[in-house]
């Protein structure tokens, strides 16, 4: 049996089970990404509720955490969310949060972020430890 070897076309996403297995609360990370207005609106972590979100193409409704929904619908659209100073792996994490965690290949990430060559991105995502739960989908 051959080992699975990701390529620049392999799709990645945030694997939430990775967070659960490590008993880490992704919402703590997500909360740090909220803009000041959303941070105030969301309140403390214990106040956070699930909300309905509507797919812009199909109108399908899914229920997601209010913090994530705020990031997707508001904070990720603001200029400071992704900047040239944002570290590369953080940028990838933020990209997935903003796009509903739709899986993206390294090439697609490269096209969106335009920071480092696809091969470098692939190396960073596959060599060494998993960062922020970003794994092949």
Partner 1 sequence: MLFQQMRTQTAEYWLEEFAIHKEDVEYLYEWFVEEGEPRTIDELGLKVVERHCLGEEDALSKKSDRGLIYQPQEKYEVGQRLVFPAFDYAVGKVLAVREGNNPRYGPFGVIQVQLENGAAPREFAAEFALDHALNRSMALLKGSEGFLSPEQLYKDHGPSVRKRLQDALLQNEDFVHFDRHWFLRELLLEVSPFHLNIAEAMIDERHQPLTISQLLEEVELPSETKISVRAYALGYALSQDPRFVEISVSDAPTWYLNSLIPTSVHHKPARLVPMYSARGGEWLNRELRDFVTELADEADELEQPRVVKPGSVDSVQILLIYPHRREGTLPLPTWALGLLLEKPAEPLRVTFLDQQNKEKIAGWMMPAEGYAWGLGEWYQRHGVPIGGVVELRQADDPVTFLISHEKRRRKGDWIREAKVFRGRLTFSIQRKAYACHYDKHLLIDEGPADELNGLWINAGQKTQSLFEYLTEIFPELAKLSGQGLVHAKTLYSAVNLTRRCGAVPIFAELTRRACFDPVGDGNWIYDGSLRDITYNTPEQMSRRPNSHRQNLIVDRVYQYGVNREVHSP
Residue choice 8, 34, 35, 51 for contact with partner 1 (CB under 8 A): 51
23 forms part of the interface with partner 1 (CB under 8 A):
no
CA distance 108 to 110: 5
Instruction: Please report how close the Cβ of residue 22 comes to partner 1 at its closest, in angstroms.
Output: 29
Question: Could you tell me if 25 and 16 are in contact, meaning their C-beta atoms sit under 8 angstroms apart?
Answer: no
Residue choice 3, 40, 46, 56 for contact with partner 1 (CB under 8 A): 56
Instruction: Please report how close the Cβ of residue 75 comes to partner 1 at its closest, in angstroms.
Output: 12
Cα 41 to Cα 26, 63, 77: the distances in Å are: 19, 18, 17
- Kindly report the backbone phi and psi dihedral angles of residue 4, in degrees, each rounded to the nearest multiple of 5, phi listed first: -70, 125
85 forms part of the interface with partner 1 (CB under 8 A):
no
CB-based contacts of 119: which residues, under 8 Å, 6+ apart? 8
Closest CA to 14 of 118, 102, 114: 102
Terminal alpha carbon distance of the chain: 20
- The residue range among 21-29, 53-61, 89-97, 100-108 that interacts with partner 1, by the rule CB under 8 A, is 53-61
Instruction: Please report how close the Cβ of residue 51 comes to partner 1 at its closest, in angstroms.
Output: 4
59 forms part of the interface with partner 1 (CB under 8 A):
yes
Residue choice 17, 23, 44, 58 for contact with partner 1 (CB under 8 A): 58
Question: Could you tell me if 51 and 63 are in contact, meaning their C-beta atoms sit under 8 angstroms apart?
Answer: yes
Residue choice 69, 75, 94, 105 for contact with partner 1 (CB under 8 A): 69
Q: Footprint of partner 1 on this chain (CB under 8 A)? A: 49-54, 56-62, 69, 73-74
């Amino acid at each position: 049996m051959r080992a699975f070897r990701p390529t620049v076309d392999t799709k990645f996403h945030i694997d939430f089970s990775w967070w659960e297995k490590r008993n880490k609360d992704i919402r703590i990370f997500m909360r740090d990404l909220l803009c000041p207005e959303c941070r105030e609106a969301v309140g403390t972590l214990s106040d956070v509720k699930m909300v309905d979100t509507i797919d812009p193409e199909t109108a399908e409704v899914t229920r997601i955490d209010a913090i994530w929904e705020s990031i997707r619908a508001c904070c990720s659209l603001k200029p400071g969310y992704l900047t040239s100073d944002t570290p590369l792996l953080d940028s990838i994490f933020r990209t997935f949060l903003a796009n509903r965690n739709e899986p993206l290949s390294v090439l697609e990430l490269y096209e969106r972020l335009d920071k480092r060559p696809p091969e470098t991105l692939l190396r960073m995502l596959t060599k060494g430890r998993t960062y922020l739960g970003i794994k092949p989908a």
